[in-house]
Structure 1
């Protein structure tokens, strides 16, 4: 066997091995993506889609903007213009914001949420709260409002 033939066979085998590794990696990523639930809102209801099955999680039609927690066990969402949290199966629905708000987003730890609400200037601001409910929201922005108490509002239930 000549050196050129040996080099060609080695390169072909290495290429096939690399291609198989890439295919396995892509397959693993696709399998992981299929196992990760997705959440969405449609016509005022929150749904979860997991393993090819879709389940409606909320019984009324006043819900929007669901956001899946980093560990995929909870969902933050807007219910009647306040921020709520529930478990992935729809249980444990409870309000966490102490004011009207929108656009809930999880922090990396999955322990706190940020959301948008009216700030001390009357313009939209960013607030942070815990996920258990009953906490006073912390003002994050605008900067002019950080040192001031958040505008007082009632704790809206419903």
Structure 2
């Protein structure tokens, strides 16, 4: 299996999480500065944004968790609450009932209450990109697999028991890589940079970076079926007759399971096929895809069928932004990245 770094390398991967592409990937930066990706919508002006932001914030059903300078915050657009300190936290993800947050701290999996209290480490195994099961009993996360590539594990949210392998399927019966071995792995270091997994609302599937498709392609995004262990390729780059390079990362499901969004980047055979960091929405039924938003938009999490929160660029910095999926209306919410929308219990 080809490693993740074989494709785009750490530099291009860093572009997906908001590190300035003018430094790390000049071609992507030029494309981002000069044009939006296909289907992009024009951002509202700053004058419009002031009043629109207030309106959008009032309409958000719950809090948004996000990261700034390595700490987790929550807000609905007005005041914000800082939940962590120390600058080593990443990838907050709300529990299905909206009462807890899973997050990474120093590359390990932790949970905390919605107000930041009760912080608890679930495992010492190196982890990346957590996602809760729909019933709230498990958390899936990415880590080094027995194959030497990326894999997906699950652990009980009550902290009882050890992590168990979900994907690759063939690793379910194999011995887990040692924690020290995983921590030193170049694959794990790249996973921790911007990897994430996403558990489908029906509980049957997990979207994750890598998988069996990495035996064919240089980089790919997979859908794994939990009962059978079978995998389906959603996006692929390089190898297998695909003449491009790039990546697809940070998947996120819409609450009805009909759509899956992810952050992508592509370099084609010719300049006209290049696509700077952008957002893709995948139809889980038909397999059709479309581009959402502007160049350099990334890390989408759905609010509902018509809106999402994303990480965008504003004055050279990362901003959590509310985006209308149909009308393209954009309203900056807070400085930060890696947003996650709090589910509202009914």
**Secondary structure at 1:99's aligned position in 2?**
coil
SS at 2:60 equivalent? helix
Partner of 1:74: 100
* Structure 2 gaps, min length 5: 1-55, 184-346
Q: 51-60 vs 119-128, which deviates more?
A: 51-60
Does structure 1 retain, via aligned residues, the 8 Å contact 2:57–2:77? Answer: no
Tell me the TM-score normalised to structure 1 length.
0.72
Q: Closer, same or farther in 2 for the Cα pair 1:134/1:62, shift >3 Å? A: farther
Larger radius of gyration: 1
* Number of positions where the alignment pairs a residue of Structure 1 with one of Structure 2: 126
The answer to whether the 8 Å contact 2:145/2:177 transfers is yes
Match of 1:65 among 91, 94, 97: 91
Any conservation in 1 of the 2:57–2:76 contact (CA below 8 Å)? Answer: no
Match of 1:132 among 137, 154, 158: 158
- RCO higher in 1 or 2 (8 Å CA, sep ≥ 6)? 2
Q: 2:126 aligns with which of 64, 89, 100?
A: 100
| In the alignment, structure 1 residue 152 sits paired with structure 2 residue 161 | no
Aligned to 1:100, the other structure's residue is in SS state: coil
Q: What is the alpha-carbon root mean square deviation over aligned residues?
A: 2.2
Q: What's the secondary structure of 2:170's corresponding residue?
A: helix
Cross-structure match for 1:113? 139
Displacement after TM superposition at 1:152 (Å): 3.0
Check conservation: 1:78, 1:102, Cα contact below 8 A.
yes
Q: Which 4+ residue blocks in structure 1 deviate beyond 3 angstroms?
A: 30-33
Segments of structure 1 that go 5 or more residues without pairing to the other structure are 1-29
Deviation at 1:122, TM superposition (A): 1.4
